[in-house]
Amino acid sequence: MKCIINRRAEFSASHRYWLPELSEAENTTRFGLCANAPGHGHNYVVYVAMAGELDEYGMVLNLSDVKQVIKREITSQLNFSYLNEVWPEFQDTLPTTENIARVIWNRLAPHLPLVRITLYEHPELWADYEGNHMEAYLTISTHFSAAHRLALPHLTLEQNSEIYGKCARINGHGHNYHLEVTIKGEIDPRTGMIADLVAFQKAVDEHVVEPFDHTFLNYDIPYFANVVPTAENIAVHIRDLLEEPIRKIGATLHRVKLIESPNNSAEVYGLSVTGTNLARADVPALVSA
């Protein structure tokens, strides 16, 4: 039986976004504060996903061996380093989150049966790389607070309550929504970027966070005047709002995940993904200790 296992590791390192062929002004315009000398640092967390058949001992791989490989090939070399200079790959292509994930894959692939590298630059920014040449995924996490009421206008309060329970109450209720937006694209061989990160963040802020934050969705967002603002419908609408802005920054919208509460979330995939109507709602089971 095939199984996927994951091993977590971490390292602290600094980097700088700076292209010597550009002037100081051009670097500042392109990379903002990330161009400042001597650079800045992060506590990186990397997840190494590997696949294989279970052996007679119930393991895909011996995790002690995996740990040593990751330490030897990755963390012992990157920890407390200046990434731009530690490996030659980062002299050709800047050490962005997505490019670091790609290079880690290339360094580990001869030793481990990889299926994915996930690299967190910080809890609200991470990249995934799956071995497809220069293709990678970049995710930002953000949040907004909003109220909503789940009710169909042609039904009575009693009927809506049968469908939506407490969520149908007249005055609504609120959530601190957490939003994850993932884009897909080709890593630029010089800048190391799928798309400009500032432009990516700006698109999400301008089209979703600012319009949605501190609103009553049913009344303040025109789309929800006739659409019940369930987590699923909100995620679909966010997807539709972001498709074109993400395309304009040179990437493809891959996935939108909306976390309504620790118990409920919904995710939808971009229209370019196979199965354009694919959506999934997750309601994790509660487990008592």
User: What CATH number is given to the structural domain containing 282?
Assistant: 3.30.479.10
What pLDDT, on the 0 to 100 scale, is given for residue 289? Answer: 26
Which residues touch 122 (CB under 8 Å, ≥6 apart)?
Answer: 42, 43
Domain count, the chain: 2
Token pair of 152 as six digits: 């169909």
Q: In terms of Cα–Cα distance, which of 196, 71, 183, 51 is closest to 127?
A: 183
Query: How far apart are alpha carbons 279 and 270 in whole angstroms?
Result: 10
Answer yes or no: do 178 and 238 share one domain.
yes
Query: pLDDT digit string (tens) for 89-119?
Result: 999 999 999 999 999 999 999 999 999 999 9
- With a cut of 80, say whether residue 252 has pLDDT above it: yes
Answer yes or no: do 74 and 145 share one domain.
no
Q: Does pTM top 0.85 for this prediction?
A: yes
Query: Which active-site residues does the annotation give?
Result: 167, 214, 260
Query: pLDDT digit string (tens) for 179-195?
Result: 999 999 999 999 999 99
Which residues touch 153 (CB under 8 Å, ≥6 apart)?
Answer: none
Q: How many CB atoms lie within 10 A of CB 212?
A: 20
Mean pLDDT, range 132-160, rounded to an integer: 97
Q: Which of 87, 108, 131 is the last residue of a domain?
A: 131
Query: pLDDT digit string (tens) for 259-287?
Result: 999 999 999 999 987 555 565 555 443 33
Q: Which of 131, 158, 182 is the last residue of a domain?
A: 131
Q: Which of 131, 155, 187 is the last residue of a domain?
A: 131
Mean pLDDT, range 56-60, rounded to an integer: 90
Answer yes or no: do 87 and 39 share one domain.
yes
- With a cut of 70, say whether residue 167 has pLDDT above it: yes
Answer yes or no: do 98 and 144 share one domain.
no
Q: How many CB atoms lie within 10 A of CB 59?
A: 12
- Give the residue numbers spanning the domain of 279: 133-289
Which residues touch 38 (CB under 8 Å, ≥6 apart)?
Answer: 14, 16
Answer yes or no: do 157 and 280 share one domain.
yes
